[in-house]
Amino acid sequence: NTILHLLAVANEAGVDFTMDDIDRLSRRVPCICKVAPNTKKYHIQDVNRAGGIMGIMEQLAEGGLVDTSVPRADGYTLAEAIDKYRITGATVSEEAKEIYSSAPGNRYNIVMGSQNAAYTSLDADRAGGCIRDIAHAYTQDGGLAILKGNIAENGCVVKTAGVDESIWKFSGKAKVFHSQDDACSGILNGDVEAGDVVVILYEGPKGGPGMQEMLYPTSYIKAKHLGKACALITDGRFSGGTSGLSIGHISPEAAAGGAIGLVKDGDRIEIDIPARRIHLQVTDSELALRRKQEEARGKAAFTPVRDRKVSKALKAYAALVSSADLGAVRLID
């Protein structure tokens, strides 16, 4: 989601910021914090106990990766805020202790702060704790990668922090679905097997319309114990809750005539995260023939085979929206 929103903000502001810039930054900035579902060891409350966002910013600052001179809305510079809230120094302020020792109460309530639960100690271990320093980062690459290839000419996104390194290189046969719902049915009914690449089409900004999050299919793949045996690629959206070899935001999307819409059942797809590559093992001439055949369908070309009611408002949105590589913004120039 961060990628999508940053691209949209940059587009609106007229700033030259693309998916290539995101990949460049991810290669430079290491992954220094992991929480579920990317690890079973830590959850969001553990991030707070380790110093929260300020703890993360402190380590990035020590690595020279952020500008700490920038002002904050509360009047402090980032450097001053880091000093105020740090838990790794010789002395820790009482305010920082109170904030970062806050713990879950393990029972439901509807009044914020009513449980007053607290940890008895803070996690200041930057070598093996929840938040790491640069030298002890979980990975020296960031948690995201931009892949490109003949079915994602403008790029697609994979959250490497949630992918087991054993499947950073993966090759499998395509199982094509024209909606998230159909994909869920196929996975639950056993149509998807180990070694398959689930391909969900027409769920992008234009094709959805609206770019739904593809959380259910990834959850069902895990439930079927296929998390390390299958991949999922889509022009739809993923969020921080996703894990496994899940590749989204494929651009151009199927509904915009993207080559992802030309994939057929049984096609072999190669994924190589270290090389930042995704490739459909089909010749250029075969892809050109498939495109010609699809375009011969006229107004029905690059449209899904499914029953979905779409409101007039969403139809208007679909007529104006860009693919995800531009942030799913409306093209009204």
Q: Which residues have a catalytic role annotated?
A: 239
10 Å Cβ neighbour count for 62?
16
Closest CA to 213 of 235, 197, 190, 245: 235
CA angle 151–157–161, rounded 5-degree value: 135
CA 80 – CA 241 distance, rounded (Å): 32
Q: In the structure encoding, which two tokens stand for residue 117, read together?
A: 């639960």
The answer to whether 313 and 330 are in contact (CB under 8 A) is no
How many CB atoms are closer than 10 A to CB 233?
Answer: 27
- What's the CA gap between 146 and 127, in Å, rounded? 28
